[in-house]
Amino acid sequence: MNQELIRNVAIIAHVDHGKTTLVDQLFHYSGMFRANQQVAERMMDSMELERERGITIAAKNGSYRYGKYHINIIDTPGHADFGGQVERVLRMADGAVLLVDAQEGPMPQTFFVVKKALAVGLPILLVVNKIDKPAARPDWVVDQVFDLLARLGAPDETLDFPVVYASAKSGYALTEPDASPEGMGMDAISEMIVRHVPPPPGKVDAPLQFQINTIDYSPYLGRLGTGKITSGRFDLRTPLAVVRRDGSVVPARINKIFAFDGDQKVPVNEASCGAIVSVAGMEDVTVGVTFTSPDNPQPLPVIEIDPPTIAMQFVPNDSPFAGHDGKFVTSRHLEERLSREILADVALQVHPLSEGVGFQVAGRGELHLSILIERMRREGYEFQVTRPQVLMREEKGQLLEPYEDLTVDVDEKYQGVVIEKLGKLKGVLTDMQVGAELTRMKFKIPTRGLLGYRSVFMTDTHGMGVMNYVFAEWGPYAGDIQNRVNGVMIVKETATTVAYALFNLQERGRLFVGPGVETYPGQIIGEHCRPADLVVNPARGKKLTNVRASGSDEAVILTPPRDMSLEECIAYINDDELVEITPKTIRLRKKKDAKIRA
């Protein structure tokens, strides 16, 4: 295809500002679907977990036609925990479409993704989305984005960004915020992309440079490497070499080339400069390697990734119920699966434990690691994980730890309890803006303080608050932060829980299990109402006699047990406790050598 007619653009935004919905509408209005064709909502979110959680976890590639132009779209994650994805895929783009909610304005992750886009020199195109909200304030949003770009030191040409006003959900885009949406489609966005995103640079007749930015997997073809050809061309017969991340050069052969049509991969015979393609045939291909000419290897610079901030231990399951549910239960299975993961996710680091069997897995945040755990669980893996630990560093004799910029939006009546709780977690209030409906507060807080705080925050704000955070900087160690005050209820011996026993135990604290659940010694089945741990027998039945008295046999009424998510379980445990992960169950337990708190 004519290189001048190609546009490569990344869609970047804060979480839930409408990136994937916008891509759906661009595809729809390009005419790639029949009028009566059934199309899945958020079709770029192809992973089951993405559809369940409503977030983009992995970057996706797609394309559509706008007149004579071929527009390649890169849908990026919004969570900072998946920032490793954003850093890599922006290398494939020649421009960035920034989506900002017309009511919320720029948020913490907006700052994060814009900073990454500016670092690789991309022009910014602004789409103010959700302008059909009753509280939309599009002019204020444009001013806020300008201030954000200025704070980040954007060049003058970037500060003169084009703006389109849209409602991706309703399927229209306007060049003026007060224009009528009647009969309007998404052409204003496509027109902005064509006019303001330059065609990809590079020469077709120059030596080949094709860097892999993302990894996919096909059950039929194995590993697929996706990237942009920045120089040269190749086909299935072209002799190739791969320059690995360590600088070594090895011969390579590919057996399939795929271009993108909509959200599908279509096989092609050749690809040239400017195109975004996937290739198959090299099983050990990894992110950051460069396909180039064997006669004149010219690798592209290795992609630099921000270091991880938290780590957990993944160890084989050694509970009495080990092996009941999972297909993959040994340390060898864990090693093989984690080795595959780091090939595709360069933001993840895996090291064998110096003591005992297992691995230290370090990532960018709780969500980053919990998504990996959930994916492994669904694939049939069974293992245990420890409480996340923040990674420290030492500089000039001073201990440093990562800090986050935290933004919370809460009703005014909840702001006092939020400030109090965050203060105990070493959070410092840096800004407060009182709005008509919500109060927005900004804090600087150690990453350690946010581990497990989300569930506390949602309880304190009655589910009405919104919190977002992004890595800020490394700062001095803030001192001890207490995780959990209360003790736990620990099972004494292997037993199946009985309603009568649980009825009596619920007076002593909050239960995590209901009746009819198999338990084992050391398993945690509830939270004690006091700081001490409590050893309990959840199978203790009522002693029966043949004497019955009026009022002595009241019905057993159980309070529903607390059903904790994987993230809540990981954040809840202390250092002497584990989360047991199986395909069917998530359990909490004490470590075998743990001492019971008196």
Same domain? 432 vs 287: no
pLDDT given at position 253: 86
Whether residues 44 and 96 share a domain: the answer is yes
What residue has token string 């204003």? Answer: 188
Do the strands 95-101 and 6-13 form a parallel or antiparallel pair, or are they unpaired? parallel
Question: Can you give the pLDDT at residue 520?
Answer: 93
pLDDT of residue 245: 79
The answer to whether position 409 is within a domain reads yes
Residues 369 and 334 in one domain: yes
Count of C-beta atoms within a 10 Å radius of residue 271: 23
Q: Is 51 exposed, middle or buried (0-12, 13-18, 19+ CB in 10 A)?
A: middle
The CATH number of the domain where 361 resides is what?
A: 3.30.70.870
Q: 283 and 325, same structural domain?
A: no
Q: What is the pLDDT of residue 368?
A: 83
Give dist(CA 343, CA 285) in Å, integer.
8
Q: Please report the pLDDT score of residue 38 as a whole number.
A: 43
Polymer length of the chain? 598
* Cα gap 202→165, rounded to integer Å: 33
SS3 assignment, position 193? helix
147 burial (CB, 10 Å; 0-12 / 13-18 / 19+) is exposed
Residues 167 and 215 in one domain: no
Place of tokens 């302008």: 131
Range of the domain at 382: 310-386
What confidence score (pLDDT) does residue 37 get? 44
How many CB atoms are located within 10 Å of the residue 139 CB? 13
- Is 302 inside any structural domain? no
In a domain, 298, yes or no: no
Same-domain pairing of 540 and 429: no
Same structural domain, 24 and 156 = yes
Residue 134: CB atoms within 10 A of its CB come to 5
| Residues 59 and 160 grouped into a single domain | yes
Which domain-ending residue is among 427, 449, 476?
476
* Number of structural domains the chain divides into: 5
**Res 55: pLDDT:** 54
Amino acid at 566: L
In a domain, 300, yes or no: no
Would you write out the chain's pLDDT as a tens digit for each of its 598 residues? Answer: 688 999 999 888 877 767 778 888 888 776 554 444 444 444 444 455 545 555 555 567 888 888 899 999 888 775 555 656 677 788 889 999 999 999 888 887 788 888 888 988 999 999 999 998 888 899 999 999 999 999 888 899 999 999 999 988 888 888 898 888 888 888 899 999 999 999 999 899 889 999 988 888 777 888 888 899 999 999 988 889 898 878 888 888 888 999 988 778 889 999 999 999 989 887 777 888 899 988 888 888 887 777 788 999 999 999 999 888 889 999 999 999 999 888 777 788 999 998 889 999 998 878 889 889 999 999 999 999 999 999 898 988 899 999 988 889 888 888 899 999 999 999 999 999 887 778 889 999 998 888 878 878 888 888 888 888 878 889 999 988 877 788 999 999 998 999 989 998 988 999 999 999 999 999 999 999 999 999 999 988 776 655 555 554 457 788 899 888 888 898 889 889 999 999 999 999 999 887 777 6
Which amino acid is located at 78 in the chain?
Answer: G
Tokens representing residue 501 in the block: 């026993």
Say if strands 466-476 and 523-528 run parallel, antiparallel, or are unpaired.
unpaired
pLDDT at residue 127 in the model = 93
Out of 230, 264, 292, pick the residue that ends a domain: 292
CATH assignment of the domain containing 469: 3.30.70.240
- 134 and 244 together in one domain: no
Are 183 and 108 members of one domain?
yes
Report the 10 Å Cβ neighbour count for 378. Answer: 11
Predicted pLDDT at 36: 40
DSSP for 177-188 reads TTS--TT--SHH
Cα separation, 27 vs 19, in Å, equals 13
